[in-house]
Structure formats: C-alpha cells, structure tokens
Amino acid sequence: MESETLKPAAGRYLTAALYKFVDLPDHTALREPLLACCEANQVRGTLLLAREGINGTIAGPEAGVHAVLAHLRADPRLAQLQHKASWSDKPPFLRMKVRLKKEIVTLQVPGLDPNQTVGQYVKPADWNALLADPDVLVIDTRNDYEVAIGTFKGAVNPDIKTFTELPAWLDAQPALQDGKKPKVAMFCTGGIRCEKSTALMKMRGFDEVYHLEGGILKYLEEVPPEQSTWEGECFVFDERVSVGHGLQPGPYELCRSCRWPLGEADKASPLYVKGVSCPHCHDQRTPEEKARLAERQRQVELAEARGEVHVGARLPM
C-alpha cells in the first residue's frame, strides 16, 4: 500500500500523498473523527472529503502519519487506500485541514463518475511503448506552470491554467470531434486528475483510453534515467517544488506571490524580488500588493533569524 523512498534516520518528517475514488455518502460524518485523529497524532496537511472519495497530503512524525493511515483504512471502503511517501527535514505544512468538497479534484462535469469507469491503467514499465505508438495521442493534463518545467517527449500541452479548463480544450480539438476517435493516453503528477480526465473521455465515447498508473511520480521512481522519455523536472505540490528521477529534489523554488516554479534564469531576472514578484507575475501586482508581500517577506526573514517559522512562510498547496 505504500512506497517509502529513501527512508531516513528517526526525527525527520514523513509525507503521505493519497487519494481514492470510492462512494462515501456519509463523508460529512467522517470529517470530525478524521480531524481529531490527525491533531492527536501531530499530523498536518490538507485532506478533502467528498461523496466521490478522498484526496490530500499529510505530514508529520512517522508513527503519527501511519496512525492516520490506519484510521482511514479501518473503514472497509478505504481498506485498499494507497499512498506515496517522501521525507523532509522540516514540516511541510503548518496547519491541519479536513475539508468537505463537491469533488476531490474539480472538473465540473455533471454526471462524471470515476467510480463507474476510467481509462486503462498502464504500468510505468510499459509507458514508453505507448508513447512510441504513432497512433496514440498523448495529452498532459496538468496546468501550464507544471508543464513548463517538464513533460514527456512528444506529449501535447493543452496550456491550461486550471484543470477545469480541460473539457473546453478538448472541445476545441478537431481531431477529437469527428470521424474515428483516436487512441488517447493521458498523464498527470500522481494519477488522480487522469482518473477524471480518462473517465471524461470514456463518457464522450472514446474506446481506447489509457493513463499512466501512479502518474509521473511513479514513473520517475521506477524507470531508470537511461530508459526514460521524461524531459525536465516534475512539479510537486509541497516544499520540494520539483523532483527528478529517483524522486530526488530538483533545483526549482516557488514564487511566493504566484506559485510559479522558478529556475535560475527566473531568479536572475531584475523582475524577481524574493517573496514579492517574479517575471511571471511582476506586471500583475499592484504597488499596494507588492508592499504587502514585501512586509510579509520581511516578517518571514525575521522569524527565520529567530529560529521560528512564520505563518506566511509557506503558501497552502
């Protein structure tokens, strides 16, 4: 049920990313006991509960995270819940939130139910063969800032800012509208968005729909670099910002103003001001907003000098 990469010595923080599509008609009643379990075990992060399932990322002491996972798996509907694990020297999250939502990953397509049908799962070891098939249209379902730092060679980039824009993008593609429907393969960071997107393709009458099981992260974990068709880094929604092969942390930092991943060229730009702006958002911020962000950054740096963590040091993912 888990893959705990590079397990460290005691004292570091375990992060567990998880999701499962499963019918939870009583999800509202699950919230308070789950929140209490997290708080009792010093676990922080965000978990989303909806009628269609659970999604989120938590972090804390190893024993505490496993206690929360055991609490979830004690529900027979979540007994097979899987998680992806990683480690960090510092706590990735400052608060614990358990939120009730309409969807655990928002696509806003009425009647779409990944619990009923999704695309065919493709193991990471078999993904390269699918990419090499000229009859397969490979679509990256992630947002523009994620694709900007890495993707699979030959994949189509929809250039969307949010996942909810994907259906409209699909509507605008002539090759997906008329005549014989092509084979389609989709991928995302950890797999959850592809559960929704491949379910959407099946709803629209596509018969041969595939997606990368475990997402890019599983591919980077299992496929050796010399055999890889991945180019660049993979954006992740925690303080690592990006990872490469073997899930090793990458060179990117996060703009605390717009959350765009920043490389060395971005940080060398005269438009980059740490904690305030970057080349991607500099012209979108008013003087008042920049002043507010500059004050937040000043407080963060003062807290760091005192050996403390300021509440504004990290943005919620």
Q: What is the CATH number of the domain that holds 10?
A: 3.30.70.100
What separation in angstroms does the CA of 34 have from each of 50, 76, 77? 13, 15, 15
pLDDT, one tens digit per residue, over 242-261 is: 999 988 889 999 998 999 99
Stated pTM of the model: 0.86
Decide if 245 is inside a domain: no
Q: State whether 15 and 96 are in the same domain.
A: yes
pLDDT in the model for residue 240: 82
- The tens digit of pLDDT for each residue in 24-55 reads 999 999 999 999 999 999 999 999 999 999 99
Tell whether 68 is covered by a domain: yes
Q: Specify if 7 maps to a domain.
A: yes
Q: What is the structure's pLDDT at 309?
A: 59
The pLDDT score that the predictor gives to residue 128 is 97
- Reduce the DSSP state of residue 170 to 3 states and report it: helix
179 and 221 housed in the same domain: yes
CATH of the domain at 199: 3.40.250.10
Query: Strands, DSSP E only, in 219-271?
Result: 230-232, 234-235, 242-243, 253-254, 261-262
Residues 182, 264, single domain; the answer is no
Q: Is residue 266 part of a domain?
A: yes
Q: 93 and 147 in one domain?
A: no
Q: What is the pLDDT of residues 268-300, one digit of tens each?
A: 999 999 999 999 999 999 999 999 999 999 988
Q: Could you tell me if 214 and 141 lie in one domain?
A: yes
Last residue of a domain, one of 232, 263, 282: 232
**Residue 313 belongs to some domain of the structure:** no
- Do 139 and 175 have their domain in common? yes
User: 3-state DSSP call for residue 174?
Assistant: helix
Q: Are 215 and 296 in the same domain?
A: no
Catalytic residue list: 188
Q: What is the pLDDT of residue 11?
A: 46
Mean pLDDT of the chain: 90
Q: Clarify whether residues 127 and 227 are in a common domain.
A: yes
Is residue 311 domain-resident?
Answer: no
Whether residue 316 is contained in a domain is answered as no
Using CA atoms, how far apart are residues 308 and 230, in angstroms rounded to an integer?
Answer: 38
Burial 99-125 (b: 16+ CB within 10 A, else e): eeeebbbebebeebebeeebbeebebe
Q: Tell me, yes or no, whether 208 and 258 share the same domain.
A: no
Q: What's the number of domains the chain is made of?
A: 3
| Of the listed ranges 10-14, 57-61, 252-256, the one predicted with least confidence | 10-14
Q: Has residue 113 been placed in a domain? A: no
Question: Can you tell me the distance from the alpha carbon of 164 to that of 160, in angstroms, rounded to the nearest whole number?
Answer: 9
Domain coverage including residue 79: 2-100
81 and 149 belong to one structural domain: no
Tell me: do 219 and 136 sit in the same domain: yes
Q: What is the pLDDT of residues 130-167, one digit of tens each?
A: 999 999 999 999 999 999 999 999 999 999 999 999 99
